[in-house]
Amino acid sequence: MISLQLALAALLALGCNGHSTPPEASTSSAEASSGGVKEGALEATDVAMEATDAAGGEQETAKGTNDEAIERSADGSESGADSVVAADEEWREHFWSSPQDPPTEFLDAVSPELTGRHYLASDEWNVHLFIQDIENLGGAYVGVGTDQAYLFIGWQKPEYAWLVDYDPWVVALHRAYGVFFDKAETPEEFRAFLSTKSLDGTEALLREQFAGDKDAHLIRLAFRKARRRAASRLQKLQEQLDGLGIKGFINDQDTYDAVRTRVRAGKVRPMLANLLETKGLRGIGAAAKALDVPIRVLYLSNAEEYWKYTDNYRQNIAGLPFDERSVVLRAISSQPKNNDYHYFVQGALNYLTWLAEPRIDSVFYVARRRRIKSMDDIPFRRITEGPESGLERKRKHADRDLPPDDQDQ
């Protein structure tokens, strides 16, 4: 399947004319903001760690296998310490040293009144619909956004996770969350960092943890900006998941531990990556190939709504090492009709066939929306058809002079 992907990438390259620094064992920083702010590695574990179950990108054969391997290597209990340290240094170099994109000068949106907004807490309220498609999928995770990343990591249990965004504020907030995961042993303790009564202590902690870091001010600023909305978001998520009987990082200790283990082991990297630029995503693709791990989950939120597909975007996605089990997760706007989104899952290799068709220039030909029937109507669909259906829809829209985002009946 990887060879198919390489062929598609080559086709894209032929048809196209044209959105760092590796960490030390404890802390470091890399490029991250428009004012010369550097986005750095989270406080990394100060003990050696051995990379686990990357070979072949196979899914865990028993629940908890990958977590246990990460914990064993992180606590230094493996034999052959020298080889473990060498392996640790090698994967860290690949994982943390890939380049980032420059900070964007403009924060886009689906409508003019939302441009320039920092999305520091998710407003997608039904991402649990994705769980059956990603649970224990392993491999690696790449995704935009903030808190939803930790839900997906807890369910997927990837070996590596790249938390990407083109907004330096989002990257800075992830760095603050990294400290909270390091210090908080339970979901309750994690949420306590966001409470009003803990505000002074939390800001003192961030000031201490990032003393001398060029991003220190931005990290505290992003935290202050996000705190109330993020606290409300996590409270509602806990209540929702409890009511549905679904375990997530915010309401279940084992799932929280799965996320925390990866963060503390240095296997979760927040970084600047613009889906339309040329460095971030391509660097991730190269790093994943060097680590011999497939990207099993690519989460795009509703970013594709912001623009038409570009040559850079097509090449960025084609450069990610997917396999037959890899999926793309997306949300497409339907607010204010249901105060939420349409949710779509698509096989990643299937998505590549759409991107290889140059006439498919908009996500709205890929992810077909339907009209919302009520406030409780939350559409969810798995895309399995090929690009021919999108081309037919595009022809019908052209005949009727309809825009790409016109919804089906």
Q: Tell me the mean pLDDT in the region 126-155.
A: 98
pTM recorded for the entire structure: 0.80
Q: Where are the beta strands (DSSP E) in 1-55?
A: 30-31, 38-39
Report pLDDT digits (tens) over 46-85: 333 333 333 334 444 434 445 655 554 444 333 344 544 5
Structural domain includes residue 407: no
What is the pLDDT, as a whole number, of residue 398?
84
In a domain, 111, yes or no: yes
User: Which residues have C-beta within 8 Å of that of residue 71, sequence separation ≥ 6?
Assistant: 261
pLDDT tens-place string over residues 322-359:
999 999 999 998 756 778 999 999 999 999 999 999 99
Q: Flag whether 155 is in a domain.
A: yes
Does residue 260 register a pLDDT over 50?
A: yes
Between 86 and 371, residue with greater pLDDT: 371
Q: What is the mean pLDDT of residues 208-237?
A: 97
* Whole-number pLDDT of residue 197: 96
Using DSSP's 3-state secondary structure scheme, residue 215 falls into coil
3-state secondary structure 234-303: HHHHHHHHHHHCCCCCCCCHHHHHHHHHHHHCCCEEEEECCCCCCCHHHHHHHHHHHCCCCEEEEECCCH
For residue range 1-48, what is the model confidence (pLDDT) as tens digits?
A: 544 454 444 444 434 433 333 333 333 333 333 333 333 333 333 333
**Residue 118 counted as domain residue:** yes
What's the mean pLDDT in 220-249? 98
Q: Please return the burial class of 404, using the count of CB atoms within 10 Å of its CB with bins 0-12, 13-18 and 19+.
A: middle
In this predicted model, which residue has the larger pLDDT, 282 or 1?
282
Quick check: bond before 336 cis, omega within 30?
Answer: yes
All residues at 6 or more sequence positions from 250 whose CB lies less than 8 Å from its CB, including other chains: 150, 151, 187, 190, 191, 234, 237, 238, 241, 256
- Which residue range(s) make up the domain with 192? 2-400
pLDDT value of position 73: 42
pLDDT band at 109 (very low <50, low <70, confident <90, very high): low
pLDDT higher than 60, residue 314: yes
The total domain count for the chain is 1
| Residue 54 in domain | yes
268 has pLDDT over 60: yes
Question: Does the pLDDT at position 208 exceed 80?
Answer: yes
**Band of residue 400 on the pLDDT scale cut at 50, 70, 90:** confident
- What is the reported pLDDT for 24? 36
In the DSSP assignment, the letter for residue 213 is -
Residue written as token pair 């040559």? 311
Domain annotation covers residue 344: yes
The DSSP code for 197 is G
Is 66 or 132 the better-scoring residue by pLDDT? 132
- DSSP letter at 339 equals S
Residue 406 lies in a domain: no
Closest CA to 60 of 126, 10, 123, 134: 134
- Is 409 domain-assigned? no
pLDDT, position 375: 82
**Pairing label, strands 38-39, 140-143:** unpaired
